[in-house]
Structure 1
Amino acid sequence: MKTIRKHGELLALFLFSFAFFFVFKYGPLYGVIIAFKEFRVVDGIWGSPWVGFQHFQELFSNSDFYRLLKNTLLLNLYLLLCAFPAPIILALLLNEVKSKGFQRFIQTTMYLPHFVSWVIMSGLVIYFLSPTSGFVADIMKWFGMEPIFFMGKKEYFRPIVVGSAILKDLGWSSIIYFAALAGINPEMHESAIIDGANRWQRIININIPSILPTVSIMFILTLGGFLSANFEQIINLLNPVTYDTGDVIDTYVYRVGLQQFQYSYTAAIGLFKSLVGLLLILGANLTVRKLSRGENGLW
């Protein structure tokens, strides 16, 4: 009781967080059982008949599933290779800017796209890439090139998704790395300067090793959602022409689950994604801990 009275404010903050996760995250978990039932709205979750692993068998025997899985994996792989390191590089570069006013201006400017919804952002992307009135088409015409209908060619869809994702969240995602860089002891840089280290050597030997724990945690958390694409982004950029390369698991779940009312089948898909995400988190955490000799990782 003495501890509770001493840390009452922290306990209150914890209780609010606990209540949120319990009500909105852990409480609804019982609904996962519909993946093993033939869910009927009139019968409810408990009254619907059991079908075992029928929906999982249907999922893995579906010819579209492997196309969806391939698109999802490739898209998330491109995002991992391009979008994940981008905010790290931005934070490292801006951290070397001497003018604090210019640094704040760039940061504020790059934060703004994060607060724009994907409906508006996707509309801007489609407008800028328009072959008739788009900004990109005007540049191509100025160089004597023939404009390309980017949104009408499936081979351009993934680069467009990756590029727009970087443009929207680059500044916002870099905040945590700026905070990690701000926590570096200035005496380390002062000692390195005395020893004759240039700016590049200090970045390689001080800044990057100092933020590696933060990078490893963000990498592990990113892998947890590896089978989850940004649904709002994809659904607003997707069109029938780009289905072959842009149709992912989340858009398929939307069409089949919400539009065709196959709740049990899509619940099985969601459970499959969650299990894969859990395995990726466990594997990535184990790998990071081994590489860092137990110094980094989520636990």
Structure 2
Amino acid sequence: MCTLKAFQKKIGVNWQLYLLFLPTLAYFLIFQYGPLYGIQIAFKDFSAVRGITGSPWIGFEHFERFFGSYQFWTLLYNTIELSLYGLLVGFPVPIILALLLNQLGHERFKRFVQTVSYAPHFISTVVLVGMMFVFLSPNSGLLNQIIVAFGGDPVFFMARPEWFKTLFVFSTVWQSAGWGAIIYLAALASIDPGLHEAARIDGASKLQRIRHIDLPGIMPTIIILFILEIGKLMTVGFEKAYLMQNSLNIDSSEIIQTYVYKTGLLGAQFSFSTAVGLFDAVINFMILILFNRLSRRISETSLW
């Protein structure tokens, strides 16, 4: 009772802050937690006429259908491979970029590089994929013109299954590396400059200062962001994969998210697509819990 009174008193003192928080709370309740009610259709034979409560319960039938389908292992392999490829290539790049920018002494050049590296973040996914089709066109694309100039044959990169994942990952790195470096630059700014001054006096090189001062200083930030990224292992960007997908690269580009869209919205199999999406979310949640616990044991840095 005393705790409740103390809480009410705290709200009374800081009511303006709680009032500002209300729109955010309402957003998450309405758009994030409210739709969780519909997850139950993954265990039902959903009919729009009968509604969620009136549809018959069928248990794990949709999950069994998905696990037994001929596409299951292909979807799982493509999703995990694309996600791990993106994590291994894309995660270190913002860290390296932030460390390099932090070492630049010329402020005007530093701001110019930051602006150039941030700019691609504001390009929409649709425009980005359109740019890729233009630059990689086998007829007029800049890259193919260079290949032909050196005596090679033009390559239709966007239609080759073996090129899909590489194009997807490296275009994402180009678009997001500069923006992702912002948080690491903020963490680097919090490091005591006196440590660098002392290291310079002792004769430490830039590489040594990065290794022994900068990296340990931002390591908690790196760990937290890595846990968040690994928690999205099964969630690959649907929009970009779908836009890059065509009948020629479908073997490499079909992932769980595009499959859910096709079966759920295009095929009107709402219960089945919900079951597939729930499977995806549960795996992500389990991976997040696992890596958060491992991080807490190894480095004493974790989300909770």
Aligning the two structures, in what range does the TM-score lie when normalised by the shorter sequence? over 0.9
The residue identity in structure 2 corresponding to 1:173 is: G
1:84 correspondence with 2:84 = no
Q: State the 1:193 CA deviation.
A: 1.5
Give the Cα–Cα distance (whole angstroms) in 2 for the partners of residues 159 and 7 of structure 1.
51
Q: State the 1:2 CA deviation.
A: 4.5
**Structure 1 gaps, min length 5:** none
Q: State the 1:20 CA deviation.
A: 1.3
Percent identity over paired residues:
45
1:93 correspondence with 2:93 = no
Structure 1 partner of 2:257: 250
- The CA deviation string for residues 146-187 of structure 1, in whole angstroms up to 9 with x for no partner, is 221111211111100011111111111111111111111111
Alignment TM-score, normalising by the size of structure 2? 0.95
Q: State the 1:5 CA deviation.
A: 4.2
**Structure 2 gaps, min length 5:** 1-7
Alignment of 1:235-274 (within 5 A): 235-274=242-281
Q: How has the CA–CA distance of structure 1 residues 38 and 130 changed in structure 2, closer, same or farther, with 3 Å as cutoff?
A: same
Alignment of 1:207-246 (within 5 A): 207-246=214-253
Q: State the 1:190 CA deviation.
A: 1.4
- The CA deviation string for residues 239-271 of structure 1, in whole angstroms up to 9 with x for no partner, is 111011111011111111101100000111111
Q: State the 1:142 CA deviation.
A: 2.7
1:283 correspondence with 2:290 = yes
Q: State the 1:195 CA deviation.
A: 2.0
Structure 1 partner of 2:39: 32
1:75 correspondence with 2:82 = yes
Give the Cα–Cα distance (whole angstroms) in 2 for the partners of residues 192 and 224 of structure 1.
37
Give the Cα–Cα distance (whole angstroms) in 1 for the partners of residues 217 and 52 of structure 2.
50
1:61 correspondence with 2:68 = yes
1:133 correspondence with 2:136 = no
Give the Cα–Cα distance (whole angstroms) in 2 for the partners of residues 219 and 147 of structure 1.
38
After TM superposition, the runs of 4+ consecutive aligned structure 1 residues lying more than 4 A away are none
Q: State the 1:8 CA deviation.
A: 3.2
Give the Cα–Cα distance (whole angstroms) in 2 for the partners of residues 102 and 154 of structure 1.
40
Q: State the 1:52 CA deviation.
A: 0.5
RMSD: 1.2
Aligned residues: 297
Give the Cα–Cα distance (whole angstroms) in 1 for the partners of residues 182 and 149 of structure 2.
37
1:298 correspondence with 2:295 = no
- The CA deviation string for residues 47-66 of structure 1, in whole angstroms up to 9 with x for no partner, is 11100110011010011011
